[in-house]
Amino acid sequence: MVEQLLRVSFQRRPWALLVATSCIFGVTIPGARAQTMQDALINHYCTQAMNTDFAKAGKTPPAGMVAYTCNCVIQQVNARATIDQAKAICQQQATAKFPTP
């Protein structure tokens, strides 16, 4: 139903599902629980997307890279960055911190 309303394929755009779900839960769950739920959703979809990207490339992410990057995305979103801004900032920081061969 949400997919029809947004006219977005969530399989191709997992961030859209994250944003839609965050908005729904952010409105219905008060205070700290909403923030915790949003952080958990961001972490889940970020981790899933990164693992999928590495698998498609036939590579294994360096130890700690996924957690570092997803925590960065959570911090950026909580600081009012958009998902795209957070993704760009955190990819750049993770690439500098975890150089891949």
pLDDT in tens, the chain (101 residues): 333 433 444 445 555 555 555 554 445 546 678 889 999 999 999 999 999 999 999 999 999 999 999 999 999 999 999 999 999 999 999 999 998 76
The model's pTM is 0.67
DSSP 61: P
Helices vs. strands in the chain: H and E counts, helices first:
5, 0
Residue 73 amino acid letter: V
Q: Where are the chain's structural domains?
A: 2-97
Cα separation, 34 vs 85, whole angstroms: 22
